[in-house]
């Protein structure tokens, strides 16, 4: 088993600039908080943990990332993350403040309906969508002021084999 942990190490990183960003422009797993002007700012990333288990020609990866909401009010976030093109996501867990969300696989339109309904009621909710083969976005509704958000995604993928050499890719950045 392989475990990798990365921590945001500077105070400057924790005090992210309020420069507006777009989900399509992100280069690594990031939580973007919606602003009242309709744009996004990047939430401070506290830590990133990868745990990878390999069994035969299949790997299971657990990615856990922690962020904080520096805003004084309740916000909606969009979590952008790179995944291998052949990944099959089978688990999504989110902790926002003291609320716990466990993902359920639903038909796309029904999932959007459930998310919007929960968001309108002020409930914490999440919606994971595939934007393109290696990019996923995960909307998170009603993140409280100063709250820590923990996102954990588990996925499986086949180990690649070329001429007797086996390889496994951990996507730490988003490919354009």
| pLDDT tens digits along 153-175 | 999 999 988 998 988 888 777 65
Q: Residue 56 — left, alpha, or beta (φ > 0 → left; ψ -120 to 50 → alpha)?
A: left
Residues 86-145 have pLDDT tens digits of 888 888 898 988 888 887 777 878 888 988 898 899 887 777 777 766 777 888 888 999
pTM to 2 decimals? 0.76
Token digits for 53?
A: 């288990």
Going from the C-alpha of 94 to that of each of 65, 98, 140, the distances in angstroms are 10, 10, 9
Tell me which of 3-17, 40-54, 114-128 is least confident. Answer: 3-17
From the list 91, 48, 92, 95, the residue with the least C-alpha distance to 69 is: 95
Confidence bin at 4 (pLDDT 50/70/90): very low
């Amino acid at each position: 088993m392989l475990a990798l942990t990365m921590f945001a190490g500077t105070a400057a990183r924790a005090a992210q600039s309020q420069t507006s960003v777009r989900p399509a422009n992100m280069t690594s797993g990031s939580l973007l908080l919606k602003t009242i002007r309709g744009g996004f700012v990047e939430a401070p990333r506290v830590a990133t943990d990868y745990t990878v288990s390999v069994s035969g020609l299949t790997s299971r990866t657990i990615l856990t990332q922690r962020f904080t909401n520096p805003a004084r009010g309740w916000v909606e976030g969009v979590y952008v993350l790179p995944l291998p093109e052949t990944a099959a996501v089978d688990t999504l867990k989110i902790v926002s403040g003291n609320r716990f969300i466990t993902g359920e696989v639903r038909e796309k339109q029904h999932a959007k309906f459930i998310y919007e309904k929960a968001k309108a009621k002020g409930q914490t909710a999440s919606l994971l969508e595939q934007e393109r083969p290696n990019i996923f976005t995960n909307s998170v509704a009603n993140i409280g002021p100063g709250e820590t958000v923990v996102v954990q995604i588990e996925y499986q993928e086949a180990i690649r084999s070329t001429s007797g050499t086996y390889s496994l890719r951990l996507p730490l950045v988003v490919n354009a």
